[in-house]
Amino acid sequence: MKKTVLVSGGAGFIGSHVTVELIEAGYDVVVADNMSNCDKTCFEGVKKITGKDLKFNLVDFCDMEAVNKLFSENRIDAVIHFAAFKAVGESVAKPVMYYKNNLESFLNVLEAASGHGCHNILFSSSATVYGEPDAVPVTEKSPRKPATSPYGNTKQMCEDILQDTVKATKGSDGEIKGILLRYFNPIGAHPSALIGELPRGVPNNLVPFITQTAIGKRECLSIFGNDYPTPDGTCLRDYIDIVDLAKAHVSAVGRMLEGKMKEDCEVFNIGTGRPLSVLELVNAFEKVNNLKLNYKFAPRRAGDVTAIWADPTLANTEMGWKATRTIEETLEAAWKWEKHLAGYENV
Ligand code: WQD
């Protein structure tokens, strides 16, 4: 029988891409979202790409009654939990809102899953838990550093909550097994240009800022800092294609549902293992899309780490997952999506 996966936050950037890949891998997917940071664009895109008449569930995961109802109405085998606020700067300004939302929604999911015989929880964590690493690339054993924002703190806390729950429920009827995926920098869009990132207001992240500058929505990209101790002076990151990232979830869910886990709570880095500087990324974007980007160097942005990239060996060997898309393919897709949003024909 087909297995059913609940994707909380399934209408968002990562959730929508994961939904597509799960459906294409043969899973039934229950998509639920409170639409607090997205509109129906991506959900409609998912339906078009997959050709499925998916039902949308408007659910706020902070509403325990609504979460329980979702579990009562659907026989859920695994949950992939994305529903959370994700803006680092906003979390500094509104810590209570972040802690309340990101923790309460996850606690509700755990409680409802455990109470309804759903044993498998996959949590979307972040490389932000490594802070400024002592050594790169980082492995899953690299130490977590104190979080520098409430957002980062909620990721660490949810990791701990899942680890504790896995320990506490072992052997019980409500047993929970967990996988934590630590994403590096997810970028790009689906090659169909039917789903992608929809930042509200001025984008904080690099790639949406680049594509909005290229299309003329923003005047000029500021590259934050060119005096870092790196080969070209700009920061190094591990940019992971959104479709590759989505496929990692399919591998992880398969591992859980097929009983292949080696520990009750597993952690995997999801990155390419290839560091890229901000300048290299800008140059690659210009080259592959054959355009010139208006950019300037600006002072460093507070809180940025100099360099971080993944050692993805564990995900490669244990989950059989590996990033395959080139940065050129990814940046081409990101640009195609921006043009789609701007209403260009035949992107
Ligand atoms: C990448 C690089 C910037 C914008 C953040 C979160 C993290 C994770 C992913 C989110 C940095 C530079 C950026 C710009 C620039 N989670 N930059 N000009 O900071 O690595 O990670 O997003 O949900 O938790 O912290 O990503 O895309 O913001 O920045 O020069 O206008 O681009 O300084 O070196 P970051 P980013």
Centre of ligand 1 from the C-alpha of residue 315, in Å: 23
CATH 3.40.50.720 for the 4-187+239-270 domain, yes or no: yes
Measured from the Cα of 298, ligand 1's closest atom is 30
Rounded CA separation 261/236 (Å): 32
Rounded CA separation 248/187 (Å): 14
Centre of ligand 1 from the C-alpha of residue 136, in Å: 17
Strands 177-183 and 265-270: parallel
Measured from the Cα of 86, ligand 1's closest atom is 23
HEC-encoded secondary structure of the chain: CCCEEEEECCCCHHHHHHHHHHHHCCCEEEEEECCCCCCCHHHHHHHHHHCCCCCEEECCCCCHHHHHHHHHHCCCCEEEECCCCCCHHHHHHCHHHHHHHHHHHHHHHHHHHHHCCCCEEEEEEEHHHHCCCCCCCECCCCCCCCCCCHHHHHHHHHHHHHHHHHHHHCCCCCCCEEEEEEECEEECCCCCCCCCCCCCCCCCCHHHHHHHHHHCCCCCEEEECCCCCCCCCCCEECEEEHHHHHHHHHHHHHHHHCCCCCCCEEEEEECCCCCEEHHHHHHHHHHHHCCCCCEEEECCCCCCCCECCECCHHHHHHHCCCCCCCHHHHHHHHHHHHHHHCCCCCC
> Which residue owns the Cα nearest ligand 1 atom 23?
86
Measured from the Cα of 155, ligand 1's closest atom is 24
Domain ranges of the chain: 4-187+239-270
The residues lining ligand 1, judged by C-beta closer than 6 Å to any ligand atom, are 86, 88, 126, 128, 185, 204-206, 209, 221-224, 235, 237, 278, 301, 304
> Which residue owns the Cα nearest ligand 1 atom 21?
185
In degrees rounded to 5, what are phi and psi of residue 74? -130, 140
Question: What is the CB neighbour count within 10 angstroms for residue 230?
Answer: 17
Centre of ligand 1 from the C-alpha of residue 257, in Å: 34
**pTM above the 0.95 mark?**
yes
What is the best residue among 148, 301, 327 to mutate for testing ligand 1's pocket, by most ligand atoms within 8 Å of CB? 301
Centre of ligand 1 from the C-alpha of residue 330, in Å: 17
Residues known to be catalytic: 151
Measured from the Cα of 303, ligand 1's closest atom is 19
What is the best residue among 304, 309, 331 to mutate for testing ligand 1's pocket, by most ligand atoms within 8 Å of CB? 304
pLDDT string in tens for the chain (347-residue length):
899 999 999 999 999 999 999 999 999 999 999 999 888 999 999 999 999 999 999 999 999 999 999 999 999 999 999 999 999 999 999 999 999 999 999 999 999 999 999 999 999 999 999 999 999 999 999 999 999 999 999 999 999 999 999 999 999 999 999 999 999 999 999 999 999 999 989 999 999 999 999 999 999 999 999 999 999 999 999 999 999 999 999 999 999 999 999 999 999 999 999 999 999 999 999 999 999 999 999 999 999 999 999 999 999 999 999 999 999 999 999 999 999 999 986 66
Pick the closest to residue 335 from 288, 281, 283, 294 (CA basis).
288
Centre of ligand 1 from the C-alpha of residue 301, in Å: 9
Rounded CA separation 43/246 (Å): 15
> Which residue owns the Cα nearest ligand 1 atom 36?
205
Centre of ligand 1 from the C-alpha of residue 205, in Å: 5
